[in-house]
Chain A
Amino acid sequence: MRDLNLLIGLAMGLNLVALGSSRLPSIIRATALQGVLLGIMPLLLEHDFGWQVVAVAVATAIGKGVVIPGLLQRAMRAAHIEREVEPFIGFVPSLLLGAFGTIAALAVARSLPLLPEHAKSLLVPGALASMLTGFVLLIGRVKAISQVCGYLIFENGIYLFGLLLIGSTPLLVEAGVLLDLTVGIFVIGIIVDRIQRAFDSLDTRKLTVLRE
């Protein structure tokens, strides 16, 4: 349990790194590292794990840690985007939001009715904090790629919550979930690529033709 909490703590720290980064490559790297950490977690959580748990762990680490960040980097290079991140919500306010959010997540998680075996774990606070971070990035950043990173961190939060259930629900569902997740980001990656070709920029502020 202590090892697991250490990893979750690291992942929560990476949330703050992503919030405070002013350059796209470092946001992508933080997201990738978080993905690898998430991949290790199921192995620590289940003591007598079977091949299904190993499959989930490997797929998560490779998907979130290697494939998706690679795609993002490729999209970034292909589009010749400037590497600076332009924020709607400034870096300091984002960091403050993230920090307060992390504290609030710890407080909220304490008041939730958890099973005794989960009461000492950081899974629920980590999940809440990551989801909040993802939302801040999703709303507070202009560049499409940083929004995709925000979406990924948001999904990572949901994955953390899902780890509560890894012992009881059939892993079939978990595998399907993972597959869909990867495909989803993959599709978003393609879209980012296409948007670039249509607009010659990844600035989502230019996506304002459609409105009342």
Chain B
Amino acid sequence: MRELLLVFVPLAGALVAWFWPSDRGRPWLLPAVGAVHLVLSAWLLVQPPTVAPNAWMGFDAVARAVLPVVSLLFFACSIYAVTYLGLRAERENRVFVSVLMLVIGLLSAGHQARHLGVLWIATEGVTLAAVPLLHFNGTPRAFEATWKYLLVGGTGIALSLLGSFCLGYASMHGGGSGDLTFVALAAQGAALSRPWVLIAWVLLLAGYGTKMGLAPMHTWKPDAYGEAPGIVGALLAGGVTTVAFTALLRVRAVVGASGAGAIADRTLLAIGLFSMLVAALFLLGTRNYKRMLAYSSVEHMGILSIGASLGPAGVFAALFHVWSNGLTKGALFLSSANIRRAADSASIDDVRGMSVLTPRSAMIFVAGLFAVTASPPFGPFFSELLVLRAALGAGHYAAVAVFLVCLLFAFFGLSRVVFAVVDGRPRPATVAASRRFVETAGSLVPPALLLGLSLWLGLFTPAVLRESWTAAVAQLFPTP
């Protein structure tokens, strides 16, 4: 029952927020729901429930390995949201607050989905629910970003539905009874019709890959992250991409059971490397620090995809990376949101010298840069090291070389933009704009907390997390 509360508490919160009378009080519902969600998921992490094998939903090992970090991220964002919405008092926040809770509820459902159809419905729900969040600012640029998001995301979600149908047909072709839970599909194993499984894999990879933001289906990401409020960017980058990633892991397990795992792994490796390459090249060119975060997210989705292609050791590393990337990205998005608010522009052509105007946010931003580019001792360093070790263990030396070169380029690109923002003397217009923004505890503690957690994850990875990742790997790669 506890695991269903993860879904229903936020949905109930969304309802309450919808009917809440005042704009000033409503945002406080977010941290309240976030705290309940966090406590619940921590409890479930430590004391996992038993899941019936044929259940359509359940807090199984895969959900346990990933969902708590989404919960943690949402909690930090929900604290930040109170301050943020306080600053944006001119805009009504009824829709924004309700939909944020709807999104976390649907994300919890998506992570726990053990059925192809339930998984698709939850992902589709998240995709649609994110729309009002993206055009919260109401500017023409926000509309443009939302339109592109819907068109690309809608096509992606349609492809993943088609892929789900194909996987269903593969099961039917192999004499399946129409049970589309992942357990039942994997149990059919080699009986699944191989051509249909391969078609389904390509479509599902394209579909859920669009949601993750793997290149070349990443085109919605820079626009959406560039125009959306920082909390929305953080939740999309750390939560929505994660549900698509676990979807791919679950589907990959079925494809593996059918005997086509090697082909799936090759495609995951290729698309992962391509994403890293595309992201690294665009990072060298972008002049907008919010779009920079989007390309960095594409890069890290590439790393996840590579990890997922490398067998049990790689998937373990990828699950670790989901945690370290989610926490670090959250810190970066929230600190950059402070800078964006103070400077009133996201372009490095207009913004410089922010270490003078918003010294603490700039400090978190720079530390976050080192964390996300995998500098020790932050979490991403250790998780990417594990991915590299898995790749070397599997003998993919060329892939390792490309991986390292891309990391280097990404470091150049990211540090170029970050230091352009932080260093130098601020322009008079920026100084004038920044007077309206004061760094408060509410806008500093959440990103600092996330960054601290990323550091903590690198230095002392808790045993319970390692154990949960091992359990998830065991579920995805069952030993016969």
User: Which residue numbers of A lie inside 8 Å of B, CB to CB?
Assistant: 112-115, 131, 138, 144, 147, 151, 154-155, 158, 161-162, 164-165, 167-170, 172-173, 176-177, 180, 183-184, 187-188, 191, 194-195, 198-199, 204, 207, 209-210, 212
User: 21 interchain pairs (CB within 8 A)?
Assistant: A112-B195, A138-B151, A144-B147, A151-B155, A155-B158, A161-B162, A162-B165, A165-B169, A170-B178, A173-B117, A173-B121, A176-B121, A180-B121, A180-B125, A184-B124, A184-B128, A195-B143, A204-B147, A209-B140, A210-B227, A212-B286
The answer to whether B177 and A115 have CB atoms under 8 Å apart is no
The answer to whether B128 and A209 have CB atoms under 8 Å apart is no
B360 within 8 A of A: no
Q: Which residue of A lies closest to B171 (CB)?
A: A168
A52: min CB distance to chain B, Å: 13
The answer to whether A187 and B172 have CB atoms under 8 Å apart is no
A161-B165, A191-B131 given; A210·B143 CB < 8 A: no
The answer to whether A209 and B141 have CB atoms under 8 Å apart is yes
Contact pattern, B 120-150, Cβ under 8 Å of A = 1, otherwise 0: 1100110010010001000011011111101
B222 within 8 A of A: yes
The answer to whether A158 and B143 have CB atoms under 8 Å apart is no
A165-B172, A188-B154, A210-B222 given; A176·B195 CB < 8 A: no
The answer to whether A194 and B143 have CB atoms under 8 Å apart is yes
Minimum-distance CB pairs A-B, first 6: A173-B117, A168-B178, A210-B223, A207-B144, A180-B124, A198-B140
Q: Which residue of B lies closest to A124 (CB)?
A: B169
B20 within 8 A of A: no
List the B side residues contacting A151 at CB < 8 Å. 151, 154-155, 158
The answer to whether A176 and B117 have CB atoms under 8 Å apart is yes
With the chains together, A161 CA to B169 CA distance in Å? 10
Q: How many A-B residue pairs have CB under 8 A?
A: 107
**Interface size of B by Cβ–Cβ distance < 8 Å?**
46
Q: Which residue of B lies closest to A192 (CB)?
A: B147
The answer to whether A158 and B121 have CB atoms under 8 Å apart is no
The answer to whether B168 and A165 have CB atoms under 8 Å apart is yes
The answer to whether B147 and A177 have CB atoms under 8 Å apart is no
The answer to whether A210 and B148 have CB atoms under 8 Å apart is yes
The answer to whether A184 and B196 have CB atoms under 8 Å apart is no
Given contacts A162-B161, A210-B226, 5 further A-B contacts (CB under 8 A): A115-B172, A151-B155, A158-B161, A164-B165, A212-B222
List the B side residues contacting A177 at CB < 8 Å. 117, 120-121, 161
B285 within 8 A of A: yes
B266 within 8 A of A: no
B121: min CB distance to chain A, Å: 5
Q: Which residue of B lies closest to A163 (CB)?
A: B165
Give the most central of A184, A204, A207, A210: most B CB within 10 Å: A210
Q: Which residue of B lies closest to A131 (CB)?
A: B162
Q: Which residue of B lies closest to A196 (CB)?
A: B143
With the chains together, A76 CA to B166 CA distance in Å? 36
List the B side residues contacting A112 at CB < 8 Å. 195
With the chains together, A184 CA to B282 CA distance in Å? 31
The answer to whether B178 and A169 have CB atoms under 8 Å apart is yes
The answer to whether A207 and B154 have CB atoms under 8 Å apart is no
B278: min CB distance to chain A, Å: 12
The answer to whether B282 and A212 have CB atoms under 8 Å apart is yes
Question: From residue 395 to 423 of chain B, which have CB atoms closer than 8 A to chain A?
Answer: none
B108 within 8 A of A: no
List the A side residues contacting B24 at CB < 8 Å. none
With the chains together, A154 CA to B162 CA distance in Å? 11
B207: min CB distance to chain A, Å: 11
List the A side residues contacting B144 at CB < 8 Å. 207, 209-210
With the chains together, A183 CA to B157 CA distance in Å? 13
With the chains together, A172 CA to B180 CA distance in Å? 12
Q: Which residue of A lies closest to B295 (CB)?
A: A212
B361 within 8 A of A: no
The answer to whether B173 and A113 have CB atoms under 8 Å apart is yes
List the B side residues contacting A115 at CB < 8 Å. 172-173
With the chains together, A212 CA to B413 CA distance in Å? 14
With the chains together, A207 CA to B121 CA distance in Å? 29
The answer to whether A191 and B161 have CB atoms under 8 Å apart is no
Q: Which residue of A lies closest to B145 (CB)?
A: A210
